[in-house]
Amino acid sequence: MADNFDLIVVGGGPGGYVAAIRAAQLKMKVAVVEAKHLGGICLNWGCIPTKALLRSAEVKHLLDHAGEFGISAENVKVDLPKVVARSRAVSKQLSGGIGHLLKKNKVTVYDGYGKLMGGGYLAVSRDGKPVAQLAAPHIILATGARPRQIPGLEVDGKQIISYFEAMVPETLPKSLLIMGSGAIGIEFASFYATLGTQVTVVEMMDRILPVEDAEISALARKSFEKQGMKILTSATVKKAEKGAASVKVTVEAGGKEQVFEVEKVISAVGIVGNVENIGLENTKVKVERTHIVVDGYARTAEPGVYAIGDVAGPPWLAHKASHEGVVCVEAIAGLNPHPFETWNIPGCTYARPQVASVGLTEEKAKAAGHEVKVGRFPFIGNGKAIALGEPEGLIKTIFDAKTGALLGAHMIGAEVTEMIQGYVIARQLETTEAELMHTIFPHPTISEAMHESVLDAFGQVIHF
Amino acid sequence: MAINILMPALSPTMTEGKLAKWLKAEGDEVKSGDIIAEIETDKATMEVEAVDEGYLAKIVVPEGSEGVAVNAVIGILTATKGEAVTAPAAAAPAPVAAAPAPAAALAPAPTAASPAAAQGERVFASPLAKRIAKQAGIDLASVKGSGPGGRIVKGDLDGAPAHAPVASPAPAAAPAPVAAPAPKPAAPAPAIAAPHKAIPHSTMRKVIARRLTESKQSVPHFYLNLDIELDALLKLRAELNAKSPKEGAGAFKLSVNDLIIKACGVALKRHPGVNASWTDEAIVQYDEVDISVAVAIPDGLITPIVKGADRLGLAAISNAMKDLAARAKAGKLKPEEFQGGGFSISNLGMFGISSFSAIINPPQAAILAVGAGEKRAVVKGDAIVAATVMTATLSVDHRVIDGALGAEFLATLKKLIEEPLSLLL
């Protein structure tokens, strides 16, 4: 006898639990099936614990530079186990919070792996043993993703590690080579470099943070190199030879091979969707390159089966997963929401300096045929940034010259991850430069640089 | 003490109107029954009579203000001359005839009520959508918004009709599908570069444009033509007019149109299916035979109603029509005199028009377009003889009236007009 629900969500990450709560708000009887931790990678092994680690690194950075602020701080030491313990405690606290939220919304949580059995049935098993049989007319797959492995450079968990191990170091490695310069690779690079590790970043593309605007990417590289990182772009790792206490990594760049001997290698070369062992073979669900194919309402090729978040394709971001889940559930409930769209999803990298962006890069805007007006405002012209001792940064805005649409915004510098939402709202409301120019930004804040960047795009910048 | 003068509702459905004119100036003495202002609605100008006595201390809404909400304070009356008034008095008993309830407290700014709503319904659109629409010449009023609360967003403008030349090829000139699924948004007027004079739309012009566009686009019209001989009717008319007293209450002078109104009244009584309206739930057949008669007036047209046209005598119809037409031209019709009706007649015979097709006046289901009575050669038996003939064209809403019913109605009308003595019964 199956337990009947209106909706079953497989996976309790930021896509799954948000979808479940929204469905409960819409009076559905909801189950969540989660094998490990509520909150998913985001909360337990991703977004949140890394922010805790980076905060520790930031505190160290400030103490290292305390003298510049007239404060003396001697003998600053990093207690790595405590840094890690704090990060784990933050995850644990928030994961527990998700449990309470689901309980408050009367969502039933099943501890185990879910597997589609076809016809609206889902089997739940734990340690290979069946624990429950569930049934619902709607099943959302929110099973997430896991690190991609490169043949010959597979993660062994000791010398070649993924974000899981990189997040809980027992000792601080003297040297690290990081494969991949996306948000994950760069955040770890920033964390370890600040704590004192010699970091080398190897990126296949011609620049780091390849999804960002080229100008921002170049500024980030300059800043990281100033901090002592080695960065190789248009470079590939050919092989890794493991020794007793080090790994010899051969990197090819510009036709030349270089060998780096490092203590550990972090593999951050992307992710693959978790599409295995969830019973897709019992359905018509289509999978392309490890991701489930969905439409704007997260519908798969199998009626009644939906997929959201990382398993349903890029961008692989928690906030994408959550929103996709909400749209999916509201469509199921007949609320007729707008289909999910990717044109206004911000992306943030919490390195030092921070990087945040939304919309088209200048290059992509031009490639799409827009005649553009570009505004730039450096932090050096912003009073608050100077007062904070954060004079490095730039806010770049890209407008369609004809319509005044804000095509993209790209920011690097202190607190930009907290500020990008201003542009995201502006874009969602379809404001033009006119409304942004007539918006009063509070003084003194770094956000004034957002205003100035818009003014600059139209030749009206005040402070630069 | 101060008394608020409120914007009166001239009809149950009226929500706003134009304060056309103040007939009293600030400081003037006002007696009960004095006409203090003129209000213009969709079709009529109405006079506002004072109920209370006193002095017009303050004009809150200046004349010429459009979109003045019903029950808004338009002026303030005080008991004594020169009494200081700075803001509308707190809700006081409504001093103006027909104003049902005391006004809700209104913003004291005199113009607050007028300009925002003056343009008609507010269109909610994103700033970007507004700008793109302006650049492309898209009328936002014709676009359906898909954003929160129906707000128009950029994406809604894709495919909206624009006058500006665009790169995409013009659609092939395919015949329009017979059953268009939904009314298309009105194409915006092109921006005109040639030297010209722009005549701002009057309220009436806007109503004519809106209602007739809606009718022609959403009502499936079809047309029936029939030639009707008028000689017998003209003879009867001459005989009856000759019997009218020269002057006084009983005097009349029947027009051909009066007789046609009567004939239509009788025909509608016999074919109640034509005296009807389409609604989503049902076809509504009217109990009374009320006929709207189109009357040209200086800046448009209006359709005063001859009520009970099947029952009224010819002299009564004639005199009622004369009175309605005169007051229509003066803009003095009361709303109930032009709102309603189950059928319309439009007669352009006096201009020599032989025949034309009229647009149905919604929610009615049919309109008769009457052409000029003219001498034409007709075949009677095997001989060609001269007869006075007019062509009548019935425009019909096919949702309500099928071809056979429309034809039967026209045949009845023809018989009534060609054998007009039955109209006297």
Domain range annotation of chain A = 3-147+272-332, 160-269, 353-457
> In the predicted model, is pLDDT for residue B386 greater than 60?
yes
pLDDT above 90 covers a percentage of chain A that reads 98
Which residue, B66, B91, B118, sits at the end of a domain?
A: B118
Report the pLDDT value the prediction gives residue B85, as an integer from 0 to 100. Answer: 65
The closest of A268, A343, A274, A271 to A16, measured between CA atoms, is A274
Pick from A186, A218, A215: nearest CA to A201? A186
Would residue B234 count as lying in a domain?
yes
Write out pLDDT tens, residues B395-410.
999 999 999 999 999 9
Whether pLDDT at A439 is above 90 = yes
What integer is the mean pLDDT of A83-103? 96
> Is the CB of B127 less than 8 angstroms away from the CB of A402?
no
Q: Which CATH architecture has domain A160-269?
A: 3-Layer(bba) Sandwich (3.50)
Which amino acid is residue A303, in one-letter code? P
Do B260 and B402 share a domain, yes or no?
yes
Residues of B in contact with A338 (CB under 8 A): 146
Query: In the predicted model, is pLDDT for residue B48 greater than 90?
Result: no
* H helix intervals, A34-148: 40-45, 47-64, 80-104
Residue B331 lies in a domain: yes
Contact A338 B129 (CB under 8 A): no
Task: Give me the pLDDT at residue B168, please.
Answer: 37
- Residues of B within 8 A of A437 (CB-CB) are none
pLDDT of residue B107: 33
Q: What is the mean pLDDT of residues B249-262?
A: 89
Residue A139, classed as helix, strand or coil, is strand
Last residue of a domain, one of B118, B149, B166: B118
Question: Which among B118, B148, B176 is the end of a domain?
Answer: B118
Distance from the Cα of B300 to chain A's closest Cα (Å) equals: 39
Q: What is the rounded distance in angstroms from the CA atom of residue A45 to the CA atom of residue A316?
A: 14
**Confidence bin at B173 (pLDDT 50/70/90):** very low
Residue B259 is part of which domain span? 220-424
Subunit contact A429:B129, Cβ cutoff 8 A: no
Q: What is the pLDDT of residues B347-365, one digit of tens each?
A: 998 888 999 999 999 899 9
Q: Do A432 and B127 touch (CB under 8 A)?
A: yes
CATH number of the domain encompassing residue B315: 3.30.559.10
Contact yes or no for A402 and B135 at CB 8 A: yes
* Structural domain A353-457, CATH architecture: 2-Layer Sandwich (3.30)
Task: Give the gap in angstroms from C-alpha A398 to the nearest C-alpha of chain B.
Answer: 15
How much is the pLDDT for B175? 38
Rounded CA separation B242/B248 (Å): 15
Mean pLDDT for all residues in chain B: 80
Chain B residue whose CA is closest to A406: B128
What type of residue is B292? S
Model confidence band, residue B12 (pLDDT cutoffs 50, 70, 90):
low
Q: Is the ipTM of this complex over 0.85?
A: no
Three-point CA angle B80, B83, B89, nearest 5°: 100
Residue B191 located in a structural domain: no
Q: Are residues B242 and B380 in the same domain?
A: yes
For residue B130, is it within any domain?
no
Residue B84 has pLDDT above 80, yes or no: no
- My answer on whether B107 and B235 are in the same domain is no
- The reply to whether B314 falls in a domain is yes
Q: How far is B135 from chain A (nearest CA, A)?
A: 8
**In the prediction, which pLDDT does B6 show?**
82
* All residues at 6 or more sequence positions from A277 whose CB lies less than 8 Å from its CB, including other chains: A113, A115
**CB nearest A430 (choices: B135, B146, B154):** B154
Beta carbons of A416 and A355 less than 8 angstroms apart = yes
pLDDT, residue B335, reads: 80
Q: How confident is the model at residue A287 (pLDDT cuts 50, 70, 90)?
A: very high
**Between chains, do B129 and A435 touch, taking CB under 8 Å as contact?**
no
Position B136 in a domain: no
Q: What do you get for the CA distance between the two ends of chain A, in Å?
A: 71
Phi-psi region of A300 (alpha: psi -120 to 50; beta: other; left: phi over 0): beta
Closest Cβ–Cβ partner in B127, B135, B146 for A430: B127
Overall average pLDDT of the A84-101 stretch: 96
Predicted TM-score (pTM) of this structure: 0.60
Q: Note whether A434 contacts B: Cβ–Cβ < 8 A.
A: yes
Q: Are B97 and B5 in contact (CB under 8 A)?
A: no
Please tell me if residue A403 touches chain B, with a CB cutoff of 8 Å.
Answer: yes
The three state secondary structure string of chain B is: CEEEEECCCCCCCCCEEEEEEECCCCCCEECCCCEEEEEECCCCEEEEEECCCEEEEEECCCCCEEEEECCCEEEEEECCCCCCCCCCCCCCCCCECCCCCCCCCCCCCCCCCCHHHHCCCCCCECHHHHHHHHHHCCCHHHCCCCCHHHCECHHHHCCCCCCCCCCCCCCCCCCCCCCCCCCCCCCCCCCCCCCCCCCCCCHHHHHHHHHHHHHHHHCCEEEEEEEEECHHHHHHHHHHHHCCCCCCCCCCCCCHHHHHHHHHHHHHHHCCCCCEEECCCCEEECCCCCEEECEEECCEEECCEECCCCCCCHHHHHHHHHHHHHHHHCCCCCHHHHCCCCEEEEECHHHCCCCCCCCCCCCECEEEEECCCEEEEEEECCEEEEEEEEEEEEEEECCCCCHHHHHHHHHHHHHHHHCHHHHHC
What's residue B191's pLDDT? 64
CATH of domain A3-147+272-332: 3.50.50.60
Q: Tell me, what's the pLDDT at A136?
A: 97
For residue B244, pLDDT over 50 is answered with yes
Same fold, A3-147+272-332 and A160-269: yes
Q: Residue B52: inside a domain, yes or no?
A: yes
Q: What is the pLDDT of residues B133-152, one digit of tens each?
A: 988 888 888 888 888 888 89
- Closest Cα in chain A to B132: A403
CB contact under 8 A, B153 and A430: yes
User: For B127, which of A338, A402, A435 is closest by C-beta distance?
Assistant: A435
Can the peptide bond before residue A444 be classed as cis, meaning omega within 30 degrees of 0? Answer: yes
Mind listing the pLDDT tens digit for each residue in A310-337?
Answer: 999 999 999 999 999 999 999 999 998 9
Residues 322 through 361 of chain A touching chain B, CB cutoff 8 Å: 338
CA–CA separation, A23 and A7 (whole Å): 8
Q: Are residues B94 and B224 in the same domain?
A: no
A245 and chain B in contact, CB less than 8 A: no
Give the range among A17-31, A261-275, B109-123, B394-408 with minimum mean pLDDT: B109-123
Beta-carbon contacts below 8 Å between A and B? 26
Question: Would you say residue B43 lies in a domain?
Answer: yes
Encode pLDDT of B176-192 as tens digits: 334 434 444 444 445 67
Number of domains in chain B: 2
Whether residue B129 and residue A430 make contact (CB cut-off 8 A), yes or no, is yes
Q: How close is the nearest chain B Cα to the Cα of A429, in Å?
A: 6
Average pLDDT over residues A244-270: 95
More confident residue, A154 or B202: A154
Residues A430, B135: C-beta atoms closer than 8 Å: no
Mean pLDDT of A372-392: 97
Supply the pLDDT for residue B161. 67
What average pLDDT does this structure show over B261-284? Answer: 93
Tell me which amino acid residue B229 is.
Answer: E
**149-188 of B, contacting A, C-beta below 8 A:** 153-154
CATH code of the domain in which B104 resides: 2.40.50.100
Check if the beta carbon of residue B128 is closer than 8 Å to that of residue A405. yes
Show residues of chain B in contact with A402, CB under 8 Å.
135
